[in-house]
Chains A and B, each alone.
Chain A
Amino acid sequence: MDGGPLDASQLLKGVLDLAVLAVLAERDSYGYEVLRQLRESGLPGVGDASVYGTLRRLYQAGALSSYVVPSDEGPHRKYYGLNDGGRALLARSAEAWFTVTDAVSTLLDGMEARR
Chain B
Amino acid sequence: MTDTTEVARYAAAVRAALADLPAAERESLVGDLEQHLAEVGAESDVPLDTRLGAPEAYAAELRVAYGAREPGKPAGRRLYRGGVAVIVGAAVVGGWLVVSKSQQLSGGGLRWINILMPNLILLLLIIGFLYYMWARAAGRRGGGA
Q: Which residues of A contact B (CB under 8 A)?
A: 13, 16, 30-32, 47-54, 56-57, 60-61, 68, 74-78
Contacts and interface: CB of A to CB of B under 8 A. Distances in A.
Nearest to B14: A49
B119 interface: no
Contacts of B53: 47
Contact of B64 (A30, A50, A51): A50
Nearest to B29: A56
Contacts of A57: 65-67, 145
Contacts, number: 69
Given A53-B29, A56-B28, A77 B39 contact: yes
A75 B39 contact: yes
Interface residues of B, number: 28
B117 interface: no
B65 A75 contact: no
Interface stretch (B30-38, B87-95, B126-134): B30-38
B64 to A, nearest CB: 7
A53 B61 contact: yes
A68 B33 CA distance: 14
B39 A54 contact: no
